[in-house]
Amino acid sequence: INNERKVRNETYRTNMLKLNAFVMTYSEIDEIVTPRHSGWFMGYAPNSLHIETWNNSRQFKEDLIGLRTLWEQGKLYTFTSHVRHQDVPHTPNRDFIIQNIFPFFNNTLA
């Protein structure tokens, strides 16, 4: 999914750049997904357990799937929720999704 390979799939990046909005979210209290920040394409820095910010990563710097371009175009949105992973279908996460994520559903493709 991150296009981190010797031969990159440019079609994947091209299709990502057709989006009018790309929404990234993660929960600050998630104990299932590791690292929990991966919803923002953040992961462990090379040879470290330190979390590397998404805009400081190879993924962003080399624009492997178009995240940097989407950011520069004002089409990248980030949200943080405060619910446990297993509580996703329940309130208050449902309210979070309706308030923050649903507005993008009718405006995602060019």
What does the pLDDT look like over 24-34, one tens digit per residue?
888 888 888 88
Residue type, position 40, single letter: W
Q: What angle do CA 108, 77, 60 make, to 5 degrees?
A: 105
Pairing mode of beta strands 43-44, 51-52: antiparallel
Q: How many CB atoms lie within 10 A of CB 106?
A: 8
Domain coverage including residue 14: 10-104
Is residue 110 in some structural domain? no
What does the pLDDT look like over 40-97, one tens digit per residue?
888 888 899 999 888 888 889 999 999 999 999 999 999 988 877 777 666 667 788 8
The pLDDT value given to residue 31: 82
The pLDDT value given to residue 103: 85
Is residue 1 in some structural domain? no
Is residue 27 in some structural domain? yes
Q: How many domains does the chain have?
A: 1
From the list 49, 15, 48, 30, the residue with the least C-alpha distance to 40 is 30
State yes or no: pLDDT of 110 exceeds 60: no
Is residue 57 in some structural domain? yes
The pLDDT value given to residue 108: 54
The pLDDT value given to residue 19: 92
Is residue 36 in some structural domain? yes
CA distance 87 to 70: 30
What does the pLDDT look like over 93-104, one tens digit per residue?
778 888 888 888
